Amino acid sequence: MTPELHTFLLILVCAGVTIALRALPFLALGRGGGQPPALVRRLGERLPPAVMAILVIYCLRGTSFTALAGWLPALAAAAATIGLHLWRRNTLLSIAGGTALYMLLIRWL
């Protein structure tokens, strides 16, 4: 097998597994027109806030408290994002403000 073909194969495997993971709930739950069980519906409604919390933690997982530059930019920018959003409730403003602060802080510190 040429190296290119092997690479192509790995890409297909990676794509296939990813698609399977995304499709599994649709293949396994509530097919055939019937509604999914109440338990699954309830989970579907309650998951988004929990998933957002976990994704935020995932994004900030590299935070280290050994040096100022390891935690201040990300945590200050996160606080600014939430603060801006509580103040104006304007999604783009909150994201732009938090991101700009982060980009400034990682250059200054």
What does the binding site for other proteins look like in residue numbers (CB under 8 A)? 6-7, 9-15, 17-19, 21-26, 29-30, 35-36, 38-62, 73-74, 77-78, 81-82, 85-86, 89, 91-92, 94-95, 98-99, 102-103, 106-107
How far are the Cα atoms of 6, 37, 73 from residue 44, in angstroms, in the given order? 38, 11, 34
Query: Minimum distance between the CB of residue 104 and other proteins, rounded to whole angstroms?
Result: 8
Query: Minimum distance between the CB of residue 11 and other proteins, rounded to whole angstroms?
Result: 6
Mapping DSSP onto H, E and C, the string for the chain reads CCHHHHHHHHHHHHHHHHHHHHHHHHHHCCCCCCCCCHHHHHHHHHHHHHHHHHHHHHHCCCCCCCCHHHHHHHHHHHHHHHHHHHHHCCHHHHHHHHHHHHHHHHHHC
